[in-house]
Structure 1
Amino acid sequence: MEAAAGPAEEAGPDSCFLDRFRSQRYAGAFSPESWEQEFDKIPLFMKESPSEIDPEQNPELACLQSIIFDEDQPPEEQANTYKNEGNEYFKEKNYKKAVISYAEGLKKKCSNQDLNAVLYTNRAAAHFYLGNYRSALCDVITARKLKPNHLKAIIRGALCHLELKNFSEAMTWCEEGLRIDSKEKKLVETRAKADRLKRAEERDVRKAKLKERKEQTQQQVLLTAIKERNIKLFLEAPKNEDEISDGLGEMSLNGLSSDNAMGAKVYLDDNGKLNWPVLFLYPEYGQTDFISAFHEDARFIDHILVMFAELPPWDLERKYHPSNLEVYFEHEAREEIYQVDAENTLLQVLQHQRYFVKAGTPTFLILVTRSPFSKNYFLGKKVNRLK
């Protein structure tokens, strides 16, 4: 016979508490989705401090900061605190914040000159790694005024001078530092590097001066050769006859420079002959040909025969045969055109009283004989045959 069921057991007080604990979430618990970010907001576990501290967002951190940077502390303690903060930033390679911290320490104007010298030197190091070499140099100079034998300041100053390519000054700072510590490795290395770079710089300067003198001599010889041939050079075309005089007075070394796209310039060859960069223009099709070295004794027909041995692809009407072509140059100031005999040499044309070499590059027009374009091109212009 089964026993009768007894009354249910009543739950005790401990059981009720555990049930409530299981069913209710702790009010200060981290969110399962963002617990890592929330954990990082606790000052003790922060991986890095925020750039700006908002008391409402980070009340614990703001409280700690107010304790650390207590304005009631003596200036020396405050300056030292900022120095330590700057050192931490420096270790993290956060050089911008390090500069700010060291600067805040210097603002305290404490009476400890050794501490101030360290702050200046440390700020110089942070500036150095930011590439602010002049600012860094100013800081180490100030540090040495406070502490003349501060070796770290001397090392940093030597490195700044080295980066600024002040090689003599870098060597001087190294010598001053080595008088304090003759075995300081960084100073020995910096002095050797500055000396090597100084010698290289002096050698480059000597080479540059020698090259410049050589070029000036060559240019003078070249200019003399051009003058002897009575060739007239102008950087810009003369506006009227009053500005021309005899032409020779306008010539200068600058007149030998060339604005052409190929960068070619007139030069004297081993036989004492001039070779010119020459530009041929084909206005009918907007085309050009460039000859980088047109010998002064070469004829125009010699180059035309080579250039038009085959008809160019832009000659749609197939009319640019050497026998059909005429050579001209323009005198812009007089609005005149001169026809060049293709049998003439370049020198003969350049010696003409109406020809002026512009920007170091003689320029000529190539037109098809008696073509409609040529007739239209000559309208309103006086055409002269070169004699």
Structure 2
Amino acid sequence: MAEEAEAAPCFLDKFQSQRYPGAFTPESWEQEFDEIPMFMKKSPAEIDPEQNPALACLQSIIFDEDLSPEEQANTYKNEGNDYFKEKNYKKAVISYSEGLKKKCSDQDLNAVLYTNRAAAQFYLGNYRSALSDVITARKLKPNHLKAIIRGALCHLELKNFPEAVAWCEEGLRIDSKEKKLVELRAKADRLKRAEQRDVRKAKLKEKKEQSQKEVLHTAIKERNIKLFLEASEKEDEISDGLADMCLNGFSSDSAMGTKVYLDENGNLNWPVLFLYPEYGQTDFISTFHEDSRFIDHILVMFADLPPWDLESKYHPSNLELYFEDEAREEMYQVNTENTLLQVLQHQRYFVKAGSPSFLVLVKHSPFSENYFFGKKVHRLK
């Protein structure tokens, strides 16, 4: 007994001093623990089986190549279903795809694989891929109700409302009490009717706008107001009369976001831009009635001196109004007692970008003299 008592401490000392074969190391025990298939935190698809013999062994049992294509496909289907339950839809798609690669002869199983993959694709937002899968599933199994429901959902997400209704009706011919299809058909039919209503409204609106454009075009043409053409057009074609205008282009918003329009009395109201080149400033009148005089607007705009007029020289009595003929490099002075219509009807005035514009300069100022240098100036009565 004494000898045994003496041997026990020796054995314990040896056990403590020597590492147990296969034991975890203190520094990396967590990593080693994760490599045991039963306790893995990562998906097997993320791990190279060659680096983990235990995992390779398990996978060879699960996906045994000696199994029939039907058995292998079914195994992948179950694996995909597990991923699907975990909401790991990307991995589910991979598993279902692997099952389909086995090309088994069980068409019902293949239909299920396509339908399940469609469900995973649907939750990934890949509606067209999902729809393609359910269409294939129905070719294999025409009365596969889950495929029909998934196809109706895909059409709904793709805003193919008539097609969604059609799929629902096909499914209800198979099972008239299928609650999901009844709900989907009601929703798709409601959205289809709303879409059709919106299309009708859009067409009526387009027709009304086109009619208004034509009326506006006629009003401008009757007043002999000329519109600026692109540089590619010949100048003599412009001066011969009113240039043909693109209704869509002309009636689009001007730079300041307003349009010329006819009021209830049949009068044109224009967005007009005033430019002050000396200071790089502008004024904008969104609604300038064609029968309004320029002086009336100038008196309102310069009732108080603008803050940028540091020399206090922009008094209404000191101002002159011009428009520029860029093609001829000529300036035309506007009589401020004239109305907007009178000026727009001038033979050398062309409305550009749907918004008439005019230059405002101070009489006899050094800037004005320099601005006029090299240009011919015409005084309008």
Name which of structure 1's ranges 15-24 and 148-157 shifts more when overlaid on structure 2: 15-24
Question: Does residue 1:192 correspond to 2:174, yes or no?
Answer: no
Mapping for residues 271-282 of structure 1, pairs under 5 Å = 271-282=265-276
Q: Counterparts of 2:285 and 2:141 in 1: how far apart (Å)?
A: 69
Mapping for residues 289-328 of structure 1, pairs under 5 Å = 289-328=283-322
Question: Does residue 1:38 correspond to 2:32, yes or no?
Answer: yes
Q: 1:5 is matched with which residue?
A: none
Name which of structure 1's ranges 351-360 and 261-270 shifts more when overlaid on structure 2: 261-270
CA contact (8 A) 2:73 2:100 kept: yes
Mapping for residues 305-384 of structure 1, pairs under 5 Å = 305-384=299-378
Q: State which of 219, 223, 227 in structure 2 corresponds to 1:229.
A: 223
Question: Does residue 1:385 correspond to 2:379, yes or no?
Answer: yes
Mapping for residues 177-256 of structure 1, pairs under 5 Å = 177-234=171-228, 236=230, 240-256=234-250
CA contact (8 A) 2:152 2:184 kept: yes
| Aligned partner of residue 270 in structure 2, secondary structure | strand
Question: Does residue 1:153 correspond to 2:147, yes or no?
Answer: yes
Which blocks of at least 5 consecutive residues in structure 1 are unaligned? 1-7
Q: Tell me how far 1:238 sits from its aligned partner.
A: 7.3
Q: Which amino acid is the alignment partner of residue 129 of structure 1?
A: Y
Q: State which of 275, 281, 294 in structure 2 corresponds to 1:287.
A: 281
Q: 1:90 is matched with which residue?
A: 84
Q: Tell me how far 1:237 sits from its aligned partner.
A: 6.0
CA contact (8 A) 2:239 2:347 kept: no
Q: 1:17 is matched with which residue?
A: 11
Question: Does residue 1:264 correspond to 2:258, yes or no?
Answer: yes
Q: Deviations over 1:300-320 (max 9, x none)?
A: 111111111111111122211
- Count of matched residue pairs: 380
Name which of structure 1's ranges 311-320 and 242-251 shifts more when overlaid on structure 2: 242-251
Over 3 Å counting, the alpha-carbon distance change for 1:237 and 1:351 in structure 2 is farther
Q: State which of 40, 58, 61 in structure 1 corresponds to 2:55.
A: 61
CA contact (8 A) 2:149 2:181 kept: yes
- Identity among equivalent positions (%) equals 85
Q: Deviations over 1:228-252 (max 9, x none)?
A: 1111123546765233153324233
Q: Counterparts of 1:307 and 1:195 in 2: how far apart (Å)?
A: 57
TM-score, length basis structure 2: 0.94
| Aligned partner of residue 46 in structure 2, secondary structure | coil
CA contact (8 A) 2:77 2:113 kept: yes
CA contact (8 A) 1:234 1:250 kept: no
Name which of structure 1's ranges 147-156 and 172-181 shifts more when overlaid on structure 2: 172-181
Q: Counterparts of 2:156 and 2:219 in 1: how far apart (Å)?
A: 47
Q: Which amino acid is the alignment partner of residue 179 of structure 2?
A: K
Q: 1:135 is matched with which residue?
A: 129
Q: Which amino acid is the alignment partner of residue 40 of structure 1?
A: D
Q: Counterparts of 2:245 and 2:158 in 1: how far apart (Å)?
A: 42
Q: Counterparts of 2:359 and 2:248 in 1: how far apart (Å)?
A: 25
Q: Tell me how far 1:299 sits from its aligned partner.
A: 0.8
Q: Tell me how far 1:34 sits from its aligned partner.
A: 5.1
Q: Tell me how far 1:216 sits from its aligned partner.
A: 1.2
Over 3 Å counting, the alpha-carbon distance change for 1:241 and 1:261 in structure 2 is closer
Q: Counterparts of 2:27 and 2:286 in 1: how far apart (Å)?
A: 74
Q: Which amino acid is the alignment partner of residue 269 of structure 2?
A: N
Q: Counterparts of 2:307 and 2:20 in 1: how far apart (Å)?
A: 88
CA contact (8 A) 2:229 2:243 kept: no
Q: Counterparts of 1:298 and 1:236 in 2: how far apart (Å)?
A: 29
Over 3 Å counting, the alpha-carbon distance change for 1:25 and 1:252 in structure 2 is same
Q: 1:117 is matched with which residue?
A: 111
Q: Tell me how far 1:93 sits from its aligned partner.
A: 1.3
